């Protein structure tokens, strides 16, 4: 009997360690607050909207004092971007420069206890490859700065990336990272592993659908497919789960197991192209919210919650690109929801 108890305790210990590797924080749902628009409501009204709808986390793409200061004292947790163009300055200067930058650009406007993540660069490998060599040196300097300020255990550092960092993503178990970015990505993964920080990715099944409608069905992208795909004896009935597990498999191929995945952007537009509609946006985002709040996880990591940020709080009429890029907003500029989604 004693041997059986010992074996049971050992199995429980293994499960604890395994789950501990995967999840560092309780899963939550947040919303990206993009501000590239001429008709956006005042920030004070936006914050009232955020609070009244039970949204507890917001992603700000830039540390704009005008946007940061009104959040101070609200209790809303923040994920704040470090702009791509500032990376060389922080990377090439002493840690004191990073300390001064944090204090003057962020902590002078909002309390450190509201800041949960700093996103060092956004989609650099895809949009601004010039800054690729500066990602990890900048993160290292900021980490040392946070250590000096006594904040390294409460504020996590990472960098947000487009799904294109994968050279192959289907099926998920065959996923690999683009070999061209590995010299910059692998040191980042090492940092994330060492500091128990997440790999931040922007995941859009919508783009997979509009770019490959012959191979990606609308139902599979919208969580309503009756068709199940099998990979390594795991069942995939939607594209979102397959996309997340693709990153997990790719990291494991490079020797990094247990790094959490955080979705820093995902969403569906309400207009602007075939497949974009209010009904489809509601269906997609509602399923994402339920997945996050219920800690559903993915087939490869079942029951392991995902921190997810929906894109976008408002439509942004100043965004460039295709028309649909300006129609990801969950709320209209009048503060009324485009569709009846709940965040809790």
pLDDT tens profile 159-176: 999 999 999 989 999 999
The partner residues of 78 in beta bridges, in order of sequence, read: 58, 115
- Is 254 a residue of the active site? no
Domains of the chain: 23-331 (3.20.20.80)
pLDDT at position 25 is 42
Which of 265, 322, 323, 325 is flagged as catalytic? 265
Give me the average pLDDT of each 10-residue run along the chain (344 residues). Answer: 41 39 62 95 96 96 96 97 98 98 98 98 97 98 98 98 94 96 98 98 97 92 93 96 98 97 98 97 97 94 95 95 96 91 91
pLDDT at position 106 is 98
- Is 26 a residue of the active site? no
pLDDT at position 26 is 59
Prediction pTM value: 0.91
pLDDT at position 335 is 87
Q: Where are the beta strands (DSSP E) in the chain?
A: 29-32, 57-60, 77-82, 115-122, 156-162, 166-168, 176-177, 199-202, 229-231, 234-236, 261-266, 308-310
Which of 7, 26, 100, 123 is flagged as catalytic? 123
For residue 237, what are the CA distances in angstroms to 77, 202, 222, 227, 307? 32, 20, 10, 6, 20
pLDDT at position 111 is 96
The partner residues of 282 in beta bridges, in order of sequence, read: none
pLDDT tens profile 26-76: 578 999 999 999 999 999 999 999 999 999 999 999 999 999 999 999 999
pLDDT at position 333 is 84
Residue 90 structure tokens: 């922080």
């Amino acid at each position: 009997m004693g041997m059986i108890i010992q074996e049971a305790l050992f199995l429980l210990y293994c499960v604890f360690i395994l789950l501990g590797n995967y999840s560092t924080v309780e899963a939550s749902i947040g919303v990206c607050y993009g501000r590239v628009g001429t008709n956006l409501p005042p920030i004070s009204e936006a914050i009232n909207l955020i609070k009244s709808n039970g949204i507890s986390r917001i992603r700000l793409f830039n540390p704009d004092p005008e946007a940061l200061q009104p959040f101070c004292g609200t209790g809303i947790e923040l994920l704040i971007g470090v702009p791509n163009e500032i990376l060389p300055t922080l990377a090439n200067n002493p840690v004191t420069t990073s300390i001064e930058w944090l204090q003057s650009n962020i902590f002078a406007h909002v309390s450190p206890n509201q800041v949960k993540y700093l996103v060092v660069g956004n989609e650099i490998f895809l949009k601004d490859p010039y800054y690729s060599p500066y990602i990890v040196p900048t993160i290292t300097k900021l980490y040392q700065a946070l250590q000096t300020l006594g904040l390294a255990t409460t504020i996590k550092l990472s960098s947000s990336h487009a799904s294109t960092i994968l050279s192959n993503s289907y099926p998920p178990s065959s996923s690999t990272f683009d070999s061209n970015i590995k010299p910059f990505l692998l040191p980042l993964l090492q940092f994330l592993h060492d500091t128990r920080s997440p790999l931040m990715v922007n995941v859009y099944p919508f783009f997979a659908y509009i770019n490959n409608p012959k191979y990606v069905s609308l139902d599979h992208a919208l969580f309503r497919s009756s068709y199940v795909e099998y990979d390594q004896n795991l069942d995939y009935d939607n594209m979102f789960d397959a996309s997340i597990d693709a990153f997990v498999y790719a990291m494991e191929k490079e020797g990094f197991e247990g790094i959490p995945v955080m979705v820093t952007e995902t969403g569906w537009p309400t207009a602007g192209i075939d497949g974009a509609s209010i009904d489809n946006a509601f269906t997609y985002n509602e399923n994402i919210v339920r997945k996050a709040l219920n800690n559903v996880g993915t087939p490869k990591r079942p029951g392991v919650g995902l921190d997810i940020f929906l894109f976008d709080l408002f439509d942004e009429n100043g965004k460039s690109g295709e028309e649909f890029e300006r129609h990801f907003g969950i709320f209209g500029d009048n503060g009324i929801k485009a569709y009846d989604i709940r965040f809790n």
